[in-house]
Structure 1
Amino acid sequence: MHTTLTRVTQRIIERSASRRALYEARMQAQHRRGVHRGALDCGNLAHGFAACSASDKQQLKLTNSANLGIITSYNDMLSAHQPFERFPDVIREAARRMGSTAQVAGGVPAMCDGVTQGQPGMELSLFSRDSIARGAAIGLSHNMFDAALFLGVCDKIIPGLFIAAARFGHLPAVFVPAGPMPSGLPNKEKARIRQKFAEGKVGRAELLESESASYHAPGTCTFYGTANSNQLMMEIMGLHLPGSSFVNPNTPLRDALTVHATERAIKNSEPGGGYLPFWQQIDARAIVNALVGLLASGGSTNHTLHLIAMAGAAGITLNWDDFDELSAVVPSLMHVYPSGQADVNHFHAAGGMSVLIRELLKGGLLHGDILTATGKTLAESYTQEPFLEGDQLVWREGLIQSLDPGVLTDIEHPFSPTGGLAVLDGNLGRGVIKVSAVKPEFRIIEAPVRVFADQEALKTAFNHGELERDVIAVVRFQGPRANGMPELHKLTPYLGSLLDRGFRVALVTDGRMSGASGKVPAAIHMTPEAMDGGPLARLRDGDMVRLDSVSGHLEVLMDAEEFAARPCAQADLEQYHHGLGREMFAGMRHLVGSAEEGASTFGGFEAAEVTSMSADERQHALS
């Protein structure tokens, strides 16, 4: 094991000891109260199976057979989740063949950031994660289930489902992906057309044709953003079946994997005889594995929020220092857009998850001993790939090395010696930056700032030619308490165009960027946010700022006392708080924590309670 991996993992375990002990105690208590319908009164149970077939009702009356709860994020507007329409039928039939049953326990919202990017609906995007977690909890609260299957893929959906799975940690959980759409228009060409449109050199008809050729079929978008980062992390934590994350939808192999996921959930249930609840499977080691996978793959910056919230739901306290320290030793092993030009289908064809996991295990950078949904450890089963032999699903040992070292490399020849994610500290606060797609010559930018209160103002300034110079664009009042912390990916073509014209350009914001953060250096998730009087609120046009992602510093270059004495700017945020349902999320804006705390509206679960526990109470939980 790599010494840094061991040290960081141990630090997380020690930091989380009281919180995790309380979490585990609560999961064990829930198990004792009854994890299935055997704890229900007859009237409760009759309501629970009233709509079932006669044969399913008979099985549900037998409390020694498993009943699976399906939480689905299906809708037919979102390409990644449209394939889930037929999954419940596949799952129900597979369960019946095992002498068990399955019911859709509930549906959760699944919004598409690609549709809402730059639109008012994006201001609900981050909060949708916690709404999804609550929705899944409502479905599972009927207490009819011995295990749960979670059907989800995209940006906030998987983190929300994970949070729910953690809070129902007494249940075994298997996550079931739908897979990526087939490859469409090459990513380089898509980015070129977007930038041409931003410059006014092509029209809307050409832009729409390009976008339609990129996003063209059922399945996940094929660039390596938050959705596909989710899939990689679920597999590297053992919540997906080995090799299942990037199998295309509506194929025989995809259906066979869904059937097998059903069978594993049943076997992992208490009636199935191999009881493996979520809380026993997912611990600090599994969370560290997810973080390592994120870094090695150049994954989404959104997970500097989500992974912290996910870990917190399982009683584990993660922070940005953990990201930073591991990023310094985890090499970059994947070049998938925006880090490279390949997409996730190319990654999968080159050897995919089995090669990536094999290489990270070889480098001592994964906890190979974690338990997984297969009933085996990660090291035992996740260097394998699934195949069909006739109608039979089998796993074979995966490739020993990548078939395309330009897309997926080995531990000895990384694309970069680090994970490409850095934490920034300084007199402007604390934030993160992803540099895996930023050229080395742009990783340190010193320039005067131009301050904006929203992304539309930046777009207007660009169109008027006001940014034709070295500039650090500061887009503030975009934090979770201000307006829900929308992604600002709409700015990428404008800033990228300035970069291509030879200017030195960067972005600083208390908002988010897309999971596909690209070539423009972007200091994001700045905290404290401007809404709370963070330092960004004291910046003025023309202030010199230095963004140094190499040393991890972000500073305004002026006298400290003079800067501290400046009054904070105010913004009219009323426009963000009404329309398209935004008024219904006022409570979440009030409750939400800081970016480094995961921008969660749950209040930290056990964390606050542990802080107020007496020494005797903490010791009792630990014992």
Structure 2
Amino acid sequence: MSLHPVVDRVTDRIVERSRALRADYLRRMDEARHNGPARIRLSCGNLAHGFAAAGPDKPMLRAGTGGNIAIVTSYNDMLSAHQPMEQYPTLIRAAARAAGGSAQVAGGVPAMCDGVTQGRTGMELSLFSRDTIALATAVSLSHDMYDAALLLGVCDKIVPGLLIGALSFGHLPVIFVPPGPMTSGLPNKEKAAVRQRYAIGEATRDELLEAESGSYHGPGTCTFYGTANSNQMLMEVMGLHMPGTAFVNPNTPLRDALTVAAAEQALRITAMSDDYRPLAKAVDEKSIVNAMVGLAATGGSTNHAIHLVAMARAAGVVINWDDLDELSRVTPLLARIYPNGAADVNHFQAAGGLGFVIRELIDGGLLHPDILCVHGGDLRQQTLEPYLDDLQLRWREPPAKSLDPDVVRPMSEAFDAEGGLRLLQGNLGRAVSKISAVGPEFRRIKAPARVFDSQDDLLEAFRAGTLTGDFVAVVRGQGPKANGMPELHQLTPPLGVMQDRGQRVALLTDGRMSGASGKVLAAIHVSPEALDGGPIGRVRDGDIVEIDADAGTMQAHVDETTWNARMIETGDLSRYGFGMGRELFALMRAQSGTAEEGACSLFTNDAAKQAALAASPDIAA
């Protein structure tokens, strides 16, 4: 089937907008490419340091024969999602050796969990942990000993950070190797119900802890469709996984077989081979468009309205929220996974999974099939489902029909005619809203504003019983420059309680929610943020604020003269400067771009970027 005209048009627009920046990036990556192993160009002292502890791999590394794989790992044993990766390096080294190559752990990157830090001071480090991970990835690869890389990571900021960092070494082939989701525990809907009961004092802490630990109960990623599992979807539709890798449970023979296969494949696609597949060519305008379409089709995490922009920028590709909105409006919603459905990712996988969804989107003309995938084929091959045949890894076609139409559907029977993400704009700036879990009757509100300087202030007002009637909760001073743009996920239960009581409520904030953004209308990532002169700082208690997700608007109904005369207020930001390491991230906060620029501290002063923005009125405006 031919490409959908909107997908074609948006892709062409991105190509044109990115032309100078992309050309400069590809030129630099071509210059970094070596005809043979880079390590043979090292001095004897440099090289000796590089293989001093390599054991049986010393002779090959010394001679410069065979490919050498860099392993960059986010392993730690506190976080369930990363704990299964402890033995991956041993497995990868053995697989590489058997295939005539070698592998070395090039370095580790930090991995923090938003689930642990929600509502805590540490959450203010979360967003910029992505940029820290990018820097750590670059340090890991800077020894110039490698011909390919395997990136071990899965969760919220880890995968974007790994990709951003690796793109500075885009002459190398790169394959992502995840651990997969934990097995299903307490259903997410039941867990959310206990959270709401606890928020109004109807459940004890012991009951809440029992529910939470029944949901998050073992190794692997959380099973709801938040940012971590959205990451895995992105790696599939961008062709950066071995086919069907995303949602295979950890500590299983199939998962180990896929890890071995990734190591073997990495050695097949180096610059020394006849099938060279560098990351710089794999991540291009088409694969980024695929990522935006996949996000919309599955109701994925709002965090990727930020991360995707930064990931694309690292590859010399400039996208914005207009692109995401336009693609979402023509992409049908094909999956119902919590929070926009009852199923978890294991149910989704069993019902047909990403292979089924990708095939539907290709056949519907919504994905570019002709991207450079790491597995050696095109995106059509990415639809295949892995399985073991007498311990031999093989792939087969995904189910011809959905095995559970309540969880995944073909395009002809989509859950909704469009995806779950919307751009909102008006005199309050620009924002993103995830509506896939918001009922149609709740997608528009016109009500007085209640202004807060933090989520704690809002929670205190809720507990005091002063949040009565209909209102729009405005939480300002939460952007990347102000305090690192923490997720405000603690607001989900009380806002849900009030909506269930019959109040009309919504959230408007320059902060983030999360991949778990739920049933309450939320205008998030408001850009520019209050500290950056954003008009959200002009809102006062009692102002009538209207948010209409269907129309894509957000408006403060205030006389224009009065509105423009108001001072921008951010609240007291001094509370965010110190403690829990926040003082170490001051430079990143100061250097951050806007949310729509990816809230990234790594590219703000880039001259090439400024030239691209100047040449692109739709972005520069």
Give the TM bin, normalised by the shorter chain. Answer: over 0.9
Aligned residue in 2 for 1:621: none
* Matches of 1:589 and 1:605, distance apart in 2: 14
Retained in 2: the 8 A contact 1:195–1:494?
yes
Letter in 1 for 2:4: H
Tell me the distance in 2 between the aligned counterparts of 1:97 and 1:605.
46
Q: Equivalents in 2 of 1:605, 1:349: separation in Å? A: 46
Is the CA contact (8 Å cut-off) linking 1:66 and 1:272 kept in structure 2? Answer: no
Q: Return the alpha-carbon distance in structure 2 between the equivalents of residues 251 and 517 of structure 1.
A: 31
Matched with 2:451 is 451
> Aligned partners of 2:116 and 2:49: how far apart in 1?
38
Asked if the contact 2:20–2:612 (Cα under 8 Å) also holds between the matched residues in 1, the reply is: no
CA drift of 1:63 comes to: 1.6
Q: Of 7, 11, 14, which aligns to 1:12?
A: 14
| Residue of structure 2 in register with 1:234 after alignment | 235
Distance 2:544 2:613 in 1: 47
How far, CA to CA, are the matches of 1:188 and 1:205 in structure 2? 18
State how far apart, in whole Å, the 1-side matches of 2:570 and 2:358 are. 48
Aligned to 1:620: none
Q: Which amino acid aligns with 1:577?
A: G
What CA distance in whole angstroms lies between the structure 2 residues aligned with 1:59 and 1:371?
29
2:584 corresponds in structure 1 to: 584
Which residue of structure 1 lines up, in the alignment, with residue 354 of structure 2? 353
Q: Distance in 2 between matches of 1:383 and 1:614?
A: 39
1:618 corresponds to which residue?
A: none
Q: Are 1:430 and 1:527, in contact at CA under 8 Å, matched by a contact in 2? A: yes
Determine the C-alpha separation between the residues in 1 that align with 2:37 and 2:100.
Answer: 19
Instruction: Please say if residues 499 and 520 of structure 2, whose CA atoms lie closer than 8 Å, have aligned partners that are also in contact.
Output: yes
2:256 is aligned to: 255
Does structure 1 residue 304 correspond to structure 2 residue 305?
Answer: yes
Contact (CA 8 Å) 2:447, 2:471: kept in 1 or not?
yes
Q: Deviations over 1:330-355 (max 9, x none)?
A: 00000000000000000000111110
Aligned pairs (5 A) from 1:316-355: 316-355=317-356
1:399 deviates by 1.2
CA contact (8 A) 2:14 2:285 kept: yes
The C-alpha deviation readout for 1:80-123, integer Å capped at 9, x for no partner, is 01001010000000001011110000000000000000000000
Distance 1:594 1:33 in 2: 40
* Match in the other structure for 2:162: 161
The answer as to whether partners of 1:18 and 1:610 remain within 8 angstroms in 2 is no
Evaluate the alpha carbon distance shift between residue 33 and residue 589 of structure 1 in structure 2; reply closer, same or farther with a 3 A threshold: farther
- Equivalent residue runs for 1:544-563 within 5 Å: 544-563=544-563
Aligned mates of 1:586, 1:73 — CA distance in 2: 24
Instruction: Report the residue type matching 2:111 in the other structure.
Output: A
1:314 is matched with which residue?
Answer: 315
Following superposition of structure 1 onto structure 2, how do residues 214-293 of structure 1 map, counting pairs within 5 Å? 214-293=215-294
Letter in 1 for 2:6: T
Deviations 1:498-521 (A, max 9, x none): 000000000000000011100000
Equivalent-residue separation in structure 1 for 2:283 and 2:535 (angstroms): 37
Partner of 2:24: 22
2-structure distance, mates of 1:156, 1:480:
14
CA deviation profile, 1:176-208 (whole Å, cap 9, x unmatched):
010000000011100000000000111100000
Cα 1:41/1:373, change in 2 over 3 Å = same
Which 4+ residue blocks in structure 1 deviate beyond 3 angstroms?
32-35, 604-610, 612-615
2:55 is the counterpart of 1:47: no
Q: Give 2:618's aligned residue.
A: none
CA distance in 1, matches of 2:35, 2:591: 31
The alpha carbon displacement at 1:606 in A equals: 5.7
Matches for 1:59-458 after TM superposition, within 5 Å: 59-379=60-380, 381-458=381-458
User: Could you tell me how far apart the structure 1 residues matched to 2:369 and 2:540 are?
Assistant: 50
**CA deviation string 1:118-138 (max 9, x = no partner):** 000000000000000000100
SS state of the match for residue 33, structure 2?
Answer: helix
**Shift in Å at residue 62 of structure 1?**
2.4
Q: Any conservation in 2 of the 1:65–1:272 contact (CA below 8 Å)?
A: no
Give, in whole Å, the separation in 2 of the partners of 1:407 and 1:613: 41
Is the contact between residue 312 and residue 604 of structure 1 (CA under 8 Å) also seen in structure 2? no
**SS of 2:234's equivalent?**
helix
- Distance, in Å, in 2 between the alignment partners of 1:436 and 1:127 is 27
SS of 1:433's partner is: strand
Say how many residue pairs are matched.
613
Describe the SS at the equivalent of 2:24: helix
Instruction: Tell me by how many angstroms 1:532 deviates.
Output: 1.8
Trace 1:433-512 onto structure 2 (pairs within 5 A). Answer: 433-512=433-512
Letter of the 1:106 counterpart: G
Q: TM-score, normalised by structure 1?
A: 0.97
Between 365-374 and 252-261, report the one with greater CA deviation.
365-374
Match in the other structure for 2:619 = none
Shift in CA distance, 277/585, structure 1 to aligned 2, threshold 3 Å? same
Q: Relative to structure 1, is the Cα distance of residues 610 and 599 closer, same or farther in structure 2, using a 3 angstrom cutoff?
A: closer
Displacement of 1:605 after TM fit? Answer: 7.8
Distance, in Å, in 1 between the alignment partners of 2:64 and 2:14 is: 39
- What is the distance in 2 between the residues matched to 1:398 and 1:600? 37
Between the aligned partners of 1:272 and 1:543, the Cα distance in structure 2 is: 64
Determine helix, strand or coil for the equivalent of 1:382: helix
Equivalents in 1 of 2:526, 2:358: separation in Å? 32
Aligned residue for 1:412, secondary structure, equals: helix
Displacement of 1:32:
4.4
**Structure 1, residues 415-438: CA drift from partner, whole Å, max 9, x if none?**
110112111111111111000000
Q: What CA distance in whole angstroms lies between the structure 1 residues aligned with 2:612 and 2:231?
A: 34
Q: Distance in 1 between matches of 2:226 and 2:93?
A: 32
- Percent of aligned pairs with the same residue? 60
Q: Is 25-34 or 254-263 further displaced after alignment?
A: 25-34
- 8 Å CA contact 1:19–1:607 kept in 2: the answer is no
- In 1, are the aligned partners of 2:475 and 2:510 still within 8 Å (CA)? yes
3-state DSSP of counterpart to 1:409 = coil
For 1:201, give the aligned amino acid. Answer: E
Note the residue ranges of structure 2 that are not aligned, 5 or more in a row: 616-621
Would the aligned equivalents of 2:167 and 2:280 in 1 still touch at CA under 8 Å?
Answer: yes
What secondary structure sits across from 1:16 in the alignment?
Answer: helix
Give the structure 2 partner of residue 514 of structure 1. 514
